[in-house]
Amino acid sequence: METKLKVKLISHTMNPELVIATAGKLCYSPSNIDDLMEKQTPESIERFVNMITSIGHGSVLEHTSFTFAIEGVSRSLTHQLVRHRIASYSQQSQRYVKETQFEYVIPQDIKNNPILEQSYKNHMEDGQRLYDDIVDKLIYDYVYNKEQYGKLVDIQLKKCNIDKDEFEAWKNVNESCEKFVESLRTSYKKLCSTLEKKAIENARYIFPNACETKIICTMNLRSLINFCHHRCCRRAQEEINKLAWTMVEEVEKESPLLGKTLGASCQFGPCPEGSMCCMMPYEKKNK
Ligand SMILES: Cc1cc2nc3c(=O)[nH]c(=O)nc-3n(C[C@H](O)[C@H](O)[C@H](O)COP(=O)(O)OP(=O)(O)OC[C@H]3O[C@@H](n4cnc5c(N)ncnc54)[C@H](O)[C@@H]3O)c2cc1C
């Protein structure tokens, strides 16, 4: 099933504008920090934030950070996202989480062609079937291929407090792979879940880049500005471009002032893309 982008700013530094303005002012003031904070007014905060961002005093912006919960994006997108190294990430693991019916992203150009879209969806469904099949067949192999996996199963039987002889007798009732895994799931739930973990970490290799994933990302404002310069740019791929603009909107809701610092490079200066320039610059943002 097709997934949908969902982005939520779930946390940020308390009083981010005040923190930036105070940290910025401290650099040039003999006052103590309490006094500096007390003397700040909405006007002085705005003046300082604008001044700091326009002169590129970036380290001051690092005192504030923003945490985004991001869902309904592709693995292709997160591969691009995590290239932004000055950030923290936690991503749902395909090693530990079984995909019972994986969702996926469909690029707009593919959606614009109904025949391509249908083939794309078929491919995703085939992928899910193959994944399920690999998981079941590997679990079956782990139990029955003694030469390869005998030791692994022995350890797991011990860990799950299962009597080996009893298990051997149980498993020797001949069943199809599918039926066997089903019975293992009900009769030896813990063992099955351990073997399944090993199976899914192998089966996941068949997943396409389109596969939906969830990620929590924290960036300080300096890094977020850099991220937006690159990814709000029309040169960025459609999906991450949409994500970047949604992140800007989320920050704008909390702080219109800091939101003004975010956008594509061309909104703050000349386009850095050279011959790759899209020739459709966004409106400049006033600092
Ligand atoms: C349109 C587009 C196309 C791209 N195409 C490709 C591609 O084809 N192949 C590819 O591999 N990548 C590609 N990228 C990714 C790109 O090269 C960057 O890796 C990504 O945008 C992260 O940017 P960053 O390094 O500025 O961010 P961060 O990693 O967050 O770094 C932020 C800033 O910190 C500084 N910094 C971080 N690490 C170091 C370091 N080790 N040494 C010195 N300074 C550092 C730099 O000033 C950097 O700008 C593309 C990006 C875009 C936007």
With 0-12 CB in 10 A as exposed, 13-18 as middle and 19+ as buried, what is 108? exposed
- Same domain assignment for residues 191 and 139: yes
DSSP 138-168: HHHHHHH-HHHHHHHHHHHHHHTT--HHHHH
CATH number for the domain harbouring residue 245: 3.30.1360.170
Sign, Cα dihedral of 248, 64, 257, 263:
negative
The domain of 241 spans 6-91+211-276
Domain membership flag for residue 113: no
Answer whether 278 contacts ligand 1 (Cβ < 6 A). Answer: no
Summarize the confidence of residues 230-240 as an average pLDDT.
97
* Angle, vertex CA 169, rays to CA 168 and CA 173, nearest 5: 105
- The tens digit of pLDDT for each residue in 130-150 reads 999 999 999 999 999 999 999
81 burial (CB, 10 Å; 0-12 / 13-18 / 19+) is buried
**Does 285 reside within a domain?**
no
* Predicted pLDDT at 162: 95
d(CA 78, CA 92): 11
Rounded distance between C-alpha atoms, residue 268 and residue 201, angstroms: 44
Which ligand 1 atom lies nearest to the CA of residue 80? 15
Q: pLDDT tens, 166-217?
A: 999 998 776 789 899 999 999 999 999 999 999 999 999 999 999 999 999 9
| Residue-wise pLDDT tens digits, 69-111 | 999 999 999 999 999 999 999 999 888 888 888 999 999 999 9
Token representation of residue 51: 């001044």
Mean pLDDT lowest for which of 16-20, 66-70, 167-171? 167-171
Nearest CA to ligand 1 atom 47: 226
Q: Same domain for 196 and 216?
A: no
DSSP letter string, 47-86: HHHHHHHHHT-HHHHTT-EEEEEEEEEEHHHHHHHTT--S
**Closest atom, ligand 1, to C-alpha of 273:** 1
Q: What is the mean pLDDT of the chain?
A: 94
Q: Are 154 and 171 in contact (CB under 8 A)?
A: no
**Catalytic residue numbers?**
231
| 34 burial type by CB count under 10 A (0-12 exposed, 13-18 middle, 19+ buried) | exposed
Q: Per the structure, how many domains does the chain have?
A: 2
Q: Is the pLDDT of residue 45 over 60?
A: yes
- Looking at the predicted structure, is the pLDDT value of residue 119 above 70? yes
The answer on pLDDT for 64 being more than 80 is: yes
Mean pLDDT of 223-229: 98
Rounded Cα distance between 18 and 58, Å, is: 16
Question: Residue 174: what pLDDT?
Answer: 65
Q: Is residue 167 part of a domain?
A: yes
**222 annotated to bind ligand:** yes
Site to substitute for ligand 1 among 219, 223, 230, most atoms within 8 A of C-beta: 230
Q: Do you know the residue count of the chain? A: 287
Q: Are residues 178 and 219 in the same domain?
A: no
82 is in an annotated binding site: yes
pLDDT at 126: 95
Can you give the pLDDT at residue 60? 95
Same domain, yes or no: 50 and 84: yes
Share of the chain above pLDDT 70, in %: 99
Average pLDDT score over residue span 101-129? 96
CB of 85 closer than 6 angstroms to any ligand 1 atom: yes
Q: Is 83 annotated as a binding residue?
A: yes
Kindly tell me the sign of the dihedral angle through the C-alpha atoms of 229, 287, 224, 70.
negative
Q: What share of the chain is helix, strand, coil (3-state, %, to 5)?
A: 60, 10, 30
Same domain for 86 and 12: yes
d(CA 50, CA 200): 50
User: 22: burial class by Cβ within 10 Å (0-12, 13-18, 19+)?
Assistant: buried
